[in-house]
Amino acid sequence: MIQSGAKMLLDKIKNRTAVVGVVGLGYVGLPLAVLQAKTGYRVLGIDEVAEKVARVNAGKSYISDVDETELRQAVSAGRLSATTEFEVLRGCDAVLICVPTPLTPNKEPDISAVVKVTREVAKHAHPDLLVVLESTTYPGTTEEVMVPILTQGGLKVGQDLFVAFSPERVDPGNRSFTTHNTYKVVGGVTPACLDIARTFYEQSIVKIFPVSSPRIAEMTKVFENVFRSVNIALVNELAILCDRMGLNVYEVIDAAATKNFGFMPFYPGPGVGGHCIPLDPYYLAWKSKEYDLHTRFIELAGEINEGMPYYVVAKLQRLLNRRGRCLNGAEIMVLGVTYKADVADPRETPARKVMELLHREGARLSYADPYTPTMMVEGHSYEAVEVTADRLARSDCALILTAHSAFDFDLIVRHAPLVLDTRNGTRHVKGSTANVVLL
Ligand SMILES: NC(=O)c1ccc[n+]([C@@H]2O[C@H](COP(=O)([O-])OP(=O)(O)OC[C@H]3O[C@@H](n4cnc5c(N)ncnc54)[C@H](O)[C@@H]3O)[C@@H](O)[C@H]2O)c1
């Protein structure tokens, strides 16, 4: 039974007069803020980093998936503004929380940003407010951690405060699937919470998939990332086996992918990166211990994926050895350091680990990446270089860690004496590839 306050909130959502607060203007929050502004809401973005706030207010995008023209239009039309001050939440009808959920150094969930922001929301909360957590987290966070904080002032969930969890699934760099056309899973604490959250997302997102609780929605998101982590680990292990057996793992994957059912291709690489796959599975592994369960698949996948940089370095060492060179003193030109091709995000990139290991072994490193002008490795600052025929020819090995489409793979293969290609970036190269070794 929808109460009158809730009815007013629903009306504001439907006629787009609701004011929407988006907390955390990063890879998830900024695209979401722009989407909500385009939908017609007045959006107030909040971030603790003043520089990001200033850039949003100046209509300047710092996230490659956010179109600067759209951002500028939203700002100049007065539909989007940003601030570092949480007081603006007083005037919001809906608050979407998109702050980071990292791990502690010993791989335990660090939800301190979620807790800090929830306290701020609680401080400024008022009746008829929708609060949705979009950050990835372990099942139970919304109801066990957020609801007790949000209700300290006396608001009643499902009556005058509406709380839900709805995971963000954005795939950075994916032009076909954006927030707007990707199914949005929504779980409310009560049926009224679900009803309001669902109606809110229906205004801007094509497909909504309501679930029975925030816990189901939280579990769905971590399961999706565990699924990727486990399958990547599986194919990484297969790549190691194929290497020993002298088989081309990519040929095996391409052949297997011809099966129209029951198979989905995943590709090996030098490790996993980004803010999701290397972190999120550990959120579930941590929570599962409360239920006397050790999630062995998660731990095993983490072990294999985290071992890949070591495997790459060992393989490179072997290849150089066969040419009478040792890693110490070898000129290694690293190509691509972001965690994913054509994306400017260096977070958790396995390239950092590979470069650290090479640096420790005394390799002389240089790197090229159109998205990363400088990089700190073991206290040493590297500046990106141009990929030229001369540089490639002077190196002992070109090590492809991220196959950006901006790289000229023909040039790389033609001039580098040895190419260790961990991403199959050279697959379309014409002419001889005798100097190319795959992962
Ligand atoms: N990046 C992705 O591809 C992706 C995809 C799906 C889900 N997620 C999840 O979304 C969440 C956010 O990820 P992201 O990639 O956008 O992170 P991000 O680091 O790009 O953005 C988070 C923003 O929150 C701000 N912030 C941090 N603490 C704050 C605080 N206390 N108050 C106000 N602002 C604060 C930061 O300054 C930053 O701008 C995470 O839980 C992540 O797992 C990320």
320 lines ligand 1 (CB under 6 A): no
49 lines ligand 1 (CB under 6 A): yes
Give, in order, the Cα–Cα distances in Å from 20 to each of 23, 124, 201: 10, 14, 12
Pocket residue to mutate for ligand 1, from 22, 32, 168, most atoms within 8 A of Cβ: 168
pLDDT at 426 exceeding the cut of 90: yes
Predicted local confidence at residue 252, as pLDDT: 98
Predicted local confidence at residue 206, as pLDDT: 87
Domains in the chain, start-ordered, CATH in brackets? Answer: 4-212 (3.40.50.720), 246-438 (3.40.50.720)
pLDDT at 1 exceeding the cut of 60: no
Q: What is the CA(347)–ligand 1 centre distance, in A?
A: 12
Q: What is the CA(346)–ligand 1 centre distance, in A?
A: 14
Instruction: Tell me the pLDDT band of 349, cut-offs 50, 70 and 90.
Output: very high
Q: What is the CA(402)–ligand 1 centre distance, in A?
A: 23
Instruction: Tell me the pLDDT band of 355, cut-offs 50, 70 and 90.
Output: very high
Instruction: Check if the beta carbon of residue 184 is closer than 8 Å to that of residue 28.
Output: no
Q: Could you identify the atom of ligand 1 that is nearest to the CA of residue 280?
A: 43
Residues 303-314, mean pLDDT to the nearest whole number: 97
Residue 198: how many CA atoms within 13 Å on its side-chain side? 20
pLDDT at 413 exceeding the cut of 60: yes
Q: Which residues contact 323 (CB under 8 A, 6 or more apart)?
A: 396, 417, 418
Enzyme catalytic residues: 276
- CA–CA dist 322, 312 (Å, integer): 16
29 lines ligand 1 (CB under 6 A): yes
- What single letter denotes the amino acid at residue 246? G
Q: Which pLDDT tens digit goes with each residue over 29-84?
A: 999 999 999 999 999 999 999 999 999 999 999 998 899 999 999 999 999 999 99
202 lines ligand 1 (CB under 6 A): no
The partner residues of 373 in beta bridges, in order of sequence, read: none
pLDDT at 345 exceeding the cut of 90: no
Residues 149-164, mean pLDDT to the nearest whole number: 97
Q: Is 49 left (phi over 0), alpha (psi -120 to 50) or beta?
A: beta
Pocket residue to mutate for ligand 1, from 121, 275, 277, 347, most atoms within 8 A of Cβ: 275
165 lines ligand 1 (CB under 6 A): no
Give, in order, the Cα–Cα distances in Å from 173 to each of 194, 269, 425: 30, 18, 17
Structure tokens at 362: 């005394």
Pocket residue to mutate for ligand 1, from 46, 99, 142, most atoms within 8 A of Cβ: 99
Instruction: Tell me the pLDDT band of 180, cut-offs 50, 70 and 90.
Output: confident
Residues 355-359, mean pLDDT to the nearest whole number: 97
Token look-up 């520089």 returns 51
Predicted local confidence at residue 377, as pLDDT: 92
Residues 116-127, mean pLDDT to the nearest whole number: 97
Q: Which pLDDT tens digit goes with each residue over 227-272?
A: 999 999 999 999 999 999 999 999 999 999 999 999 999 999 999 9
Residues 396-425, mean pLDDT to the nearest whole number: 98
275 lines ligand 1 (CB under 6 A): yes
Token look-up 């809730």 returns 6
Instruction: Tell me the pLDDT band of 176, cut-offs 50, 70 and 90.
Output: confident
Q: Is 336 left (phi over 0), alpha (psi -120 to 50) or beta?
A: left
Question: Mean pLDDT for the chain?
Answer: 96
282 lines ligand 1 (CB under 6 A): no
